[in-house]
Chain A
Amino acid sequence: MTANGWLQIALFSVALLLITKPMGIYILRVVDGSMGWLRPVERLLYRIAGVNPEEDQHWTRYAASMLIFSAATMLLTYGVLRLQQILPLNPAARGAVPDRQAFETAASFTTNTNWQSYPGETTMSYFSQMTQLAYHNFVSAATGIALAIALARGITRRSAGRLGNFWVDLVRVTLYLLLPLATVLALLFVQQGAIQNFAHYVTATTVEGAKQVLSMGPVASQEAIKQLGTNGGGFFNANAAHPFENPTPWSNFLNVLAIFVIPAGLTYTFGRMANKQRHGWALWAAMFVLFLGGAVTAYWAEARGNPIHAAHGVDIAASAINPGGNMEGKEVRFGVATSALYATVTTDASCGAVNAMHDSFTPIGGMVPLVNMQLGEVVFGGVGAGLYGMLVMVILTVFIAGLMVGRTPEYLGKKIQAREVQMAMLFVLVFAGAVLTLSAIASVTAPGLKGLNNSGPHGLSEIVYAFTSTAANNGSAFAGLTGGTYFYNTLLGLNTLIGRFAMHVPMLALAGFMAEKRIAPESAGTFPVTTPLFVALLVGVILIVSALTFFPALSLGPIVEHFLMHAGRVF
């Protein structure tokens, strides 16, 4: 570990803190309709699509709109991938994407997961990448943000179960928030060296006289929205480790900041909507504590390196001229510190982009991303998904705190009763149930085991990571696992759908139930949700819920591997 490594983590934290408020205010202005500079476009879209922007939708209708829209986008993508060989912008003449692959990819991108069981550069045409995958990066992100705002409305106002208008939220978030930010960020990436063209692949003759084919394509535009929308699906197989996606340490810094910027801003937006800014900051603080714990652990573990390699004479001590640590699966320009930071951030948020290969992390370093996802993607989390996931945890926390003191729990003046807690528990259980059941199936069946790249405890980690990542809609991978098989494409594709929509419906129901409730004024007995005590309780509840659920699996995977690695065992 070096002072410079810590400094980079500190710099990132400060930048995140500074950007939270302006971003939060901006998001609020986008969703409450006070942004007007694209009003003509907005109105035109509503008119053509037959949307009445004044309609305030009941939660059931809001949920139906979201589900039908998601289904339509998924079908479109499935169709385009199957037909890409006859569509334009296909200079490398890529054939149709096979059925299961197309299903998995469509499901994965629709759900903001972007688990990729295909290498982008040898599977997808420019047309598919640009008009389908990058497009999903926008709309699945906008859907997530819309849902978070819907839950925030449900909690903060009384409206007979009405949560706003899904179509309006979707259009406004896309037009005013995601498009302008992505455009600026894409150009910053190009300036650093990310490519952006529609050219044929370039054949170079290397200095030693060999042929090297250089991949081309509209990369920066996809890179920008994949980070901002916490999507994570790379243009290339190596994702943000590929120099054409993420060429420099500065582009890398922008990469990680872009992942957190909207989720962090949303905590401020929520504080504004609840008229309780300190509660917004309390949520931010709980997220930050969990983030920092992960970043410090991952950096520590990766900087310590692999003792098995050190025994062969590898210098794992960092210096000004040697990156040290565990450099397997890491790029020299990023080194150990920013690779660990990136891995933490990308899994705290449900992004899943990677600038280093998590599969090759040390056991504890690789456990951090796994645990981050198992916490339910609430550490800033996916755009929107982080806030609504966190609010569900807040409701559980308030409920547990209420039980401890023997009072009817209330949150922001609304009573938390049986129905709300049922929905919150359903939200928690769907996730754990999907991850553990499917991991168990894969661990004991031949097609599940055939996909492994590593044996021993690391093999189990690969499987658990895959199902955690897809249910959490993260999309990062212990990429040694061959996910492009019939077995994995089917199960992982289904898992992304369960992990998104089977959790969205109870969450929207919770929002609807909350919106029906009267807002009571605070009394002396109200549990304060702005104090450090609240933050500590919230962090505790999040850790306990996921530890109880996942500790057995973790102890058989990364934890036992950690001890075996220090004993010098290889598999």
Chain B
Amino acid sequence: MLRNQLRPAILLTLLLCVITGFIYPGIVTGLAQILFPHQANGSLVVGAGGRVLGSSLIGQSFSRPEYFHPRPSAAGAGYDDTLSSGTNLGPTSAKLDTMVTTAADSAVKQEGAVRGQIPSDMVTSSASGLDPHISPANALLQVARVARVRGADPAAVQALVTRSIEARQLGVLGEARVNVLMLNLALDKQFPMHAVASATAR
């Protein structure tokens, strides 16, 4: 009984592998490249001279004071797209407790955050370690520092942040958010750093 089952088992294994493992992804790739080439190739953000600055979907590290900062990241040394990961630390982890405490202290010191009002996304790492977004509350909290370092009018920077808020999709799905890379690019355009300000910032 088993012997005459071997032929269909082996041949269907191979045939279905060809259909679902080669033809299917081939067709999807072809259609995707024709219909949505920008997305299919990573929604890349290209700057002056064709330099690839990153992807609008993948967060990147910002640590200079003149930029809005993303969330803490557990992907490699931070926002390493080849090592996507969360911290995977549990709610009673002492290590996580230390990380949150440090982040909360720095929010108070650097952004002038009020304890009890520190946005929860500001002190926690995302699931992928590549979260391109921060919450609107997080972005608004950073306005004062960014405006000060850039020598810009805080109200104007705040207006830019408000314009950058992406609403819930279809008005319902997900959460309101701000894309950090896109916001910082808009910031550089609208409030370019002066040489002096840049020097004092370092």
Residues of A within 8 A of B (CB): 4, 7-8, 11, 45, 48-51, 61, 64-65, 68-69, 71-73, 76, 119, 121-122, 130-132, 134-135, 138-139, 167, 170-171, 174-175, 178-179, 182-183, 186-187, 190-199, 201-208, 210, 212-216, 218, 220-222, 224-225, 236-238, 241-244, 247-250, 252-253, 305-306, 308-309, 312-316, 319-335, 338-339, 354-357, 359-363, 366, 453-454, 456-458, 461, 478-480, 561, 564-565, 569-571
Contacts and interface: CB of A to CB of B under 8 A. Distances in A.
B149 interface: no
Contacts of B136: 320-322
Contacts of B90: 359-360, 366, 454, 458, 461, 478, 480, 561
Contacts of B116: 313, 315
Contacts of B39: 190-195
Given A362-B91, A458-B93, A174 B83 contact: no
Contacts of A315: 116-120, 137
Task: Pick the most buried of B6, B29, B185: most chain A CB atoms within 10 A of its CB.
Answer: B29
A570 B175 contact: no
B83 A68 contact: no
Given A212-B81, A329-B88, A202 B42 contact: yes
17 contacts: A72-B10, A131-B22, A132-B17, A132-B21, A197-B33, A202-B42, A207-B53, A207-B181, A243-B132, A247-B43, A250-B173, A250-B174, A309-B123, A315-B118, A330-B124, A330-B126, A356-B127
A241 B57 CA distance: 12
Interface string B25-54: 101110111011001111110000001111
Given A7-B172, A135-B17, A190-B36, A202 B91 contact: no
A130 B21 contact: yes
Interface stretch (B62-70, B152-160, B194-202): B62-70
Given A119-B83, A174-B16, A190-B40, A198 B29 contact: yes
B158 to A, nearest CB: 12
Contacts of A130: 21-22, 25
Contact of A333 (B14, B25, B81, B133): B133
B130 to A, nearest CB: 6
Interface in B85-138: 85-94, 96-97, 100-101, 104, 108, 113-121, 123-138
B89 A331 contact: no
B62 to A, nearest CB: 6
Nearest to A10: B172
Contacts of A224: 28
Interface of B: 1-2, 4-17, 19-22, 24-25, 27-29, 31-33, 35-36, 39-44, 51-55, 57-64, 67, 71, 75, 79-94, 96-97, 100-101, 104, 108, 113-121, 123-138, 140, 165, 168-170, 172-177, 181, 184-185, 188
A300 B4 CA distance: 55
Given A249-B169, A312-B115, 13 more contacts: A68-B6, A76-B17, A132-B21, A167-B8, A198-B29, A205-B52, A220-B40, A221-B24, A224-B28, A244-B55, A458-B90, A479-B88, A480-B90
B83 A122 contact: yes
Contact of A238 (B32, B86, B173, B176): B86
A124 to B, nearest CB: 12
A339 B133 CA distance: 15
A51 B10 CA distance: 12
Contact of A312 (B52, B104, B131): B104
Nearest to A191: B36
Contact of A357 (B52, B88, B100): B88
Contact of B21 (A61, A134, A306): A134
Given A208-B67, A333-B177, A214 B9 contact: no
Contacts of A323: 119-121, 135, 175
Contact of B25 (A205, A221, A244, A360): A221
Contacts of B172: 4, 7-8, 11
Given A64-B2, A238-B129, A329-B127, A215 B82 contact: yes
